[in-house]
Amino acid sequence: MIDAKTIAIVKSTIPTVVETGPALTAHFYQRMFNHNPELKEIFNMSNQRNGDQREALFNAICAWASHLETPEVLASAVEKIAQKHTSFSIQPAQYDIVGYHLLATLKEMLNPGQDVLDAWGKAYQVLAGIFIRREAAIYQSNQNQDGGWQGTRPFRLVAKIRESETITGFKFAAADGGPVMPYLPGQYTAVWIKPAGFENQEIRQYSLTHQPDGQHYSIAVKRDDKGLVSRWLHDCAEPGDIIHLAPPAGDFYLDVTPQTPVSLISAGTGQTPLLAMLGSLARGEHQAQVNWFHAAENGRRHAFAGQVNHTGAQLRHFTQQVWYSKPEQTDAIETGSIKAGHMDLTPYISSLNDPQMTWWLCGPVGFMQFIARQLVDNGVNAEHIHYECFGPHKVL
Ligand SMILES: NC(=O)C1=CN([C@@H]2O[C@H](COP(=O)(O)OP(=O)(O)OC[C@H]3O[C@@H](n4cnc5c(N)ncnc54)[C@H](OP(=O)(O)O)[C@@H]3O)[C@@H](O)[C@H]2O)C=CC1
């Protein structure tokens, strides 16, 4: 609980902090990486370069400062971040480092006086305590599961499967040959790598694409010409290689009754968490309607078509529609379920808009905004729309 005086002081300084925003976060990160360069092994340095990480930290701090009296409003945001932190194996001592540099940054940039620094210090300690306790609980729960572990565990790459021109699947088994803990459909693992030639260790989250089998984890990765980790996985990783993985985590997972209708809506590699959801619906012999809507550039870039057809065929009530934004002559447009152009759900929403329908979105943020707008404009209850942004979270 934070006392009223502290809340009043922190709140009174929010406008100054917002005004100084980008300069403040730039100073903070520069300071922290200068003094504690070991943190470069944990932070995604690509997100540092494009500013996403800075924006995310700044937004999180402002959200916290604005809701000091009602922290429960931030419960789902806290859970999302805590889950992600566990895949980075964040430890309590790292909160002390961040807190130290945060206060030093406020002092150096704003020189607001000791009362203000003390108030921000107290508010930060409370927030850090919430994360530390939640993350400790997740670590403990992972450790206690059959096949669970804390931190990272060496896995052997057992298969590398080309799923489209740009997307490749990677299947891993624990290097010790032991079982691996289950996960919920939609959760991710994190890949930890530092191959020769990398300046820092890099950690990236990838959604788990298949059903838990107690022995393997499968992910799928789009090769990004500028992406350090995706290029390494595509171009260098070979079956037999040892790669370290974090335990599965994430708060975006399918949690529905067998009677709940489900629409899974994705673009590009955004389909990866939804593939696991589709698989779990088939495995659970889902009673209600299941719809698969997917956008890809063209047939060469349309991954997992076979897996979706195969899984969909096991479902009692299944429909599928696919859109190609840049179709090629060889693509069978307007035959079967493939259309040209961007995804347009308008013709489907009214027929699908069972009040119980749940909508699960994953893809580029702009795509999810585009689809969420179509849904909401056509009367879908926003509370039935679930989505995930990889990288720092955005509100649709
Ligand atoms: N668990 C998670 O949260 C995961 C999230 N992702 C995210 O999913 C995204 C996948 O990206 P990627 O595979 O590169 O997708 P692409 O850029 O290849 O896009 C796939 C399709 O979506 C269309 N599209 C993209 N943006 C829009 C838009 N604003 N409105 C309408 N249609 C759009 C594209 O059309 P066009 O050709 O016109 O661009 C294309 O047809 C990434 O942002 C990634 O971070 C991926 C995996 C897991």
Predicted local distance difference test score (pLDDT) of residue 21: 84
Best probe residue, ligand 1, of 84, 207, 269 (max atoms within 8 Å of C-beta): 269
pLDDT tens digit string along 241-295? 999 999 999 999 999 999 999 999 999 999 999 999 999 999 999 999 999 999 9
Give the pLDDT band of residue 396 (cuts 50, 70, 90). Answer: low
Q: Is position 163 annotated as part of the catalytic site? A: no
DSSP string for residues in 108-129:
HHH---HHHHHHHHHHHHHHHH
Contacts 24+ apart (CB under 8 A), 16-23: 16/110, 16/112, 17/61, 17/62, 17/65, 17/106, 17/110, 18/62, 20/109, 20/110, 21/58, 22/51, 22/54, 22/58, 23/109
CA distance 7 to 59: 18
- Cβ of 361 closer than 6 Å to ligand 1, yes or no, is no
pLDDT tens digit string along 174-203? 999 999 999 999 999 999 999 999 999 999
CA distance 77 to 71: 10
Give the pLDDT band of residue 225 (cuts 50, 70, 90). Answer: very high
Angle 75-87/114-144 helices, nearest 10 degrees? 60
**Which residue, judged by its Cα, is nearest atom 6 of ligand 1?**
270
Q: To the nearest whole percent, how much of the chain has pLDDT over 90?
A: 84
- Name the more confident of 351 and 314: 314
Q: Is position 135 annotated as part of the catalytic site? A: yes
Predicted local distance difference test score (pLDDT) of residue 142: 97
- Cβ of 367 closer than 6 Å to ligand 1, yes or no, is yes
pLDDT tens digit string along 77-97? 999 999 999 999 999 999 999
Q: Hey, which residues does 359 pair with through a beta bridge?
A: 263, 385
Q: Report how far ligand 1's centroid is from the alpha carbon of 350 (Å).
A: 25
Q: What is the dihedral of CA 28, 33, 36, 41, to 10 degrees?
A: 130
Candidate list 29, 124, 135, 388, residue with the active-site label:
135
**Which residue, judged by its Cα, is nearest atom 12 of ligand 1?**
268
Q: What is the mean pLDDT of the chain?
A: 94
pLDDT tens digit string along 136-153? 999 999 999 999 999 999
Candidate list 41, 55, 79, 95, residue with the active-site label:
95
pLDDT tens digit string along 19-70? 888 899 999 999 999 999 999 999 887 777 777 777 787 788 888 889 999 9
Q: Which atom of ligand 1 is nearest to the CA of 326?
A: 37
Q: Which atom of ligand 1 is nearest to the CA of 323?
A: 41
- pTM, two decimals, is 0.95
Contacts of 6 (CB under 8 A, 6+ apart): 68, 118, 119, 122, 123
Q: Report how far ligand 1's centroid is from the alpha carbon of 266 (Å).
A: 8
The domains located in the chain, with CATH, are 4-144 (1.10.490.10), 153-249 (2.40.30.10), 262-389 (3.40.50.80)
Does residue 363 have a pLDDT over 90?
Answer: yes
Contacts of 135 (CB under 8 A, 6+ apart): 82, 85, 86, 90
Predicted local distance difference test score (pLDDT) of residue 36: 96
pLDDT tens digit string along 99-111? 999 999 999 999 9
Q: Which atom of ligand 1 is nearest to the CA of 390?
A: 3
Helix (H) or strand (E) holding 354: none
CA distance 14 to 71: 16
- Cβ of 247 closer than 6 Å to ligand 1, yes or no, is no
Give the pLDDT band of residue 299 (cuts 50, 70, 90). Answer: very high
Angle 4-35/114-144 helices, nearest 10 degrees? 70
Helices (H), the chain: 4-35, 45-49, 52-66, 75-87, 92-110, 114-144, 228-235, 271-283, 305-313, 346-352, 365-377
Give the pLDDT band of residue 332 (cuts 50, 70, 90). Answer: confident
Largest CA distance in the chain: 70
CA distance 363 to 269: 7
CA distance 116 to 337: 60
CB atoms within 10 A of CB 5: 11
Q: To the nearest whole percent, how much of the chain has pLDDT over 70?
A: 98
Predicted local distance difference test score (pLDDT) of residue 148: 98
